[in-house]
Amino acid sequence: MPAFEWNKIIASVLTALIVAMVAGILSNEIIRPRHLEKLAYVPPGANSGAAATATATQAKAPSLPPIAPFLAKADATHGKQVAKVCEQCHTFDKGAPNKIGPNLFGVVATENIATVPNYSFSPALSKDKSEKWDPEKLNEWLADPQHFAPGTKMTFAGLPKEQDRADVIAYLESLK
């Protein structure tokens, strides 16, 4: 093949390459591809990172206002009256037997959670054995036992009023 034939072939290949390149650049300019900021469709079960953290913090966030201001004006005598609803399942005197629920003498701050002797706690509560019942925990527990320890066998709906809970906590604290 004569040399000028080769030149033609090389020239046409180069031209084709340049045309392809320019077309690519131009088409990118004309139709700017926009990438989605987040997935438009999240398959069920595949939580996107942000959503997962949001749920986690929501679950942890304290749902109740602090009990301290109510404890400051708590009335243990009234608490003892409110605690009558607990008596179908609990005893409060020192050394009194466990009923459906454990004996509650000295339960605040002195005893760890779920450690009353001769009482078989549910796994829902006994997983917190290394902690003590402080007023904040008792507040959450007494407001909604199933929320504080999902699966607990304390089938008690909870005390909805802050001051009632504070009074009961003050009563429990007075049992020493």
CB of 60 to ligand HEC, least distance (A): 21
State the DSSP code for 74. Answer: -
Tell me how many residues contact ligand HEC (CB under 6 A): 28
CB of 98 to ligand HEC, least distance (A): 9
Q: Is 85 in the site for ligand HEC (CB under 6 A)?
A: yes
Nearer to ligand HEC, 67 or 125 (CB): 125
Q: Is 90 in the site for ligand HEC (CB under 6 A)?
A: yes
Angle at 42 between CA 38 and CA 43, to 5 degrees: 160
**Residue 96 contacts by C-beta under 8 Å, 6 or more apart in sequence?**
103, 105
Binding residue for ligand HEC, selected from 70, 105, 121, 148, defined by CB under 6 A: 121
Binding residue for ligand HEC, selected from 67, 71, 74, 113, defined by CB under 6 A: 113
CB of 49 to ligand HEC, least distance (A): 34
Q: What is the identity of the amino acid at 163?
A: Q
Q: Which one of the spans 24-32, 40-48, 66-74, 100-108 is the region binding ligand HEC (CB under 6 A)?
A: 100-108
Q: Is 110 in the site for ligand HEC (CB under 6 A)?
A: no
Cα separation, 85 vs 154, in Å, equals 13
Q: Which residues of 142-166 are buried (b: 16+ CB within 10 A; e: fewer)?
A: bbbbeebbeebebebeebeebbbbb
How far from the centroid of its chain's Cα atoms is residue 167's Cα? 27
102: closest CA among 83, 88, 116? Answer: 116
What is the binding site for ligand HEC (CB under 6 A)? 83, 85-86, 88-90, 100-102, 104, 107, 111, 113-114, 116, 121-122, 124-125, 133, 142, 152-156, 159, 168
